[in-house]
Amino acid sequence: MHRDRFYTKPGLWLATAFSMLSLGLAAPASAADPVKIGCALPLSGGSATVGNQTRVGAQIAVNQVNANGGIKALGGAPLEIVFADTQSKADVGVTETERLITRENVAVICGSFNSAVTFPATEVAERYKTPWIVVGAVKDEITERNFKYIFRINNKATFDAREQIDAMDLLGQESGKKPKTIAMLYEGSDWGRSHAGNVKKIAAERGYDIVVDEAAPPNQVDFSNQLLKIRAAAPDAIIVALYTPDHLLFTRQMMEQRLDAPFGIHSVGGGMEDPAFYKALPQAAVDYAFVQEDWQIDKIKTTQDPLMLDANKKMEEELGYGLSAYGAQGYSSVYVIADALERAGSADREKLRDAIAQTDIKDGPALITGYLGIKFDEQGQNTFANGVISQNLGGERRTIWPAQSRSADVKPVWPVPGWSER
């Protein structure tokens, strides 16, 4: 089905909010008490660049909502966001979640990117009957536990893996050339193992042979052993699931060793969705790489939406680069919460939970990530969640899958040239 990656009907209120933001006007004064939103993110440690992109995206959305008059159903109550640093550690995430709920008395929580943190932290939220909007974390089981207070806007791991294999199938159909063998390298916590399990299942169904299945411990200082295994197996394609620091090191060493994979490197987001990753590497290191993206990055060039353009500008001013998948996800989560608050007419956690469960968003800024809608199933998973596959062509990530979202000027390179041919 064709999916228009971004909404096209911002409406009058969007223009009004943008005008206020452009003029530097403060949010309208309100006597209503602010609604406190908790947001647990990795603001330090190995995933800090991602966590801070999400933080900035969420804060931009809060500022836009407040500039537009706050939550009108609550008398113009402004949003107040309280951030907590999980440090990408499960125990810290659990402790910080409890602090947000019991000490900060937040109405709702968003976060927390790392699946290994989100999985136990959401158990705390469920126990305290506090709604949680999952941001980034894809471990399937997060929304497969019959929980009532946990909701996820983005893909789960099964969807990510299927999209990667779907893209390989499509490129194979278009070119008549298709990989037969795949090597997998993934970080060894919940996210990586969940993705690897799904890839193995789907690859077997589609006739691909997994010839390397390698989990990597975090914060490695050398990937030589893994690269030796991959070289010995000589796979046609390599699927990678690594967070930014490890992905940087692996990519540098792969370039230094001139390790070829005829049908390319295929990253499932992670480091290859992080703008900091590209700032730290020469273009040659990422040429022709495929990335499973959580939003269509090349659409930012053509959008006319004033709020999206404002968010892109604010991200660039604060971080040195524009909107990323992570910034967009943080931004979207706040607008989903704002929508639920308007419908609930209350910041009561139980009423807010019920309103989130009944979410049915078909347009507006919550869809900045490009989904056709946001509607949760009985487990709290957005039924409209999807991503795209990009390829790095001439220094830019361009969408190549699904075919309907591919621009007319984009021609995938498949197979990819070896190092000696570049």
pLDDT tens string 34-43: 999 999 999 9
What's the rounded Cα separation, in Å, for the pair 57 and 336? Answer: 13
pLDDT attached to residue 218: 80
Is the pLDDT at 44 greater than 70, yes or no? yes
Burial of 332-343, coded b for 16+ CB within 10 Å and e otherwise, reads bbbbbbbbbbeb
Cα–Cα distances (Å) from 147 to 131, 135, 144, in that order, read 10, 17, 8
| Residue whose tokens read 């019920």 | 354
Model pTM score: 0.85
pLDDT attached to residue 297: 87
**CA 71, 77, 83, 84 torsion-angle sign:** negative
Note whether 11-155+304-369 and 158-293+388-421 share their fold: yes
Question: Which CATH code is given to the segment(s) 158-293+388-421?
Answer: 3.40.50.2300
Question: What Rg do the C-alpha atoms of the chain give, in angstroms?
Answer: 21
Is residue 41 within 8 Å of 123, Cβ to Cβ?
Answer: no
pLDDT attached to residue 76: 97
What's the rounded Cα separation, in Å, for the pair 266 and 415? Answer: 13
What's the rounded Cα separation, in Å, for the pair 294 and 329? Answer: 8
What residues contact residue 411 under an 8 Å CB cut-off, 6+ apart?
A: none
The amino acid at residue 19 is S
Q: How is the chain split into domains, by residue range?
A: 11-155+304-369, 158-293+388-421
Residue 31 exposed, middle or buried by CB count within 10 Å (0-12, 13-18, 19+): exposed
Residue 200 exposed, middle or buried by CB count within 10 Å (0-12, 13-18, 19+): middle
Cα–Cα distances (Å) from 305 to 244, 339, 401, in that order, read 30, 19, 24
Quick: pLDDT tens for 298-348: 888 888 999 999 999 999 999 999 999 999 999 999 999 999 999 999 999
**β-strands 396-401, 388-393 pairing:** antiparallel
Q: How much is the average pLDDT of 156-160?
A: 95
Torsion of CA 315, 320, 323, 326, to 10 degrees: -90
11-155+304-369 is a CATH 3.40.50.2300 domain:
yes
Cα–Cα distances (Å) from 270 to 58, 198, 226, 325, in that order, read 19, 16, 18, 10
pLDDT attached to residue 219: 81
pLDDT attached to residue 370: 87
Q: Which helix (H) or strand (E) holds 113?
A: none
